[in-house]
Amino acid sequence: MRPDTRPQDAFHPAVAHWFDGTFPAPTAAQAQAWPAIRAGQHTLVAAPTGS
């Protein structure tokens, strides 16, 4: 992913728009996991509760 793109921009524009209106930003775990998930890779995500 290019440094000037946001993780949610990899998804359909309607999904990115919904995300932008619902959450301030993806969590670190989401930002790191989404590219692998989108690529169809098996992905295990672990994050602290409430993050």
Radius of gyration of the chain (CA): 11
Which of the four pLDDT bands, split at 50, 70 and 90, describes residue 10? confident
With tokens 């919904």, the residue in question is 18
- Higher-confidence residue of 2 and 50: namely 50
- Higher-confidence residue of 15 and 2: namely 15
Q: What is the pLDDT of residue 1?
A: 54
Two tokens, residue 1: 């992913």
Domain boundaries, the chain: 1-51
Q: What is the pLDDT of residue 51?
A: 65
Q: What is the mean pLDDT of the chain?
A: 87
C-alpha to C-alpha distance for 26 and 32, rounded to whole angstroms: 9
The model's pTM: 0.66
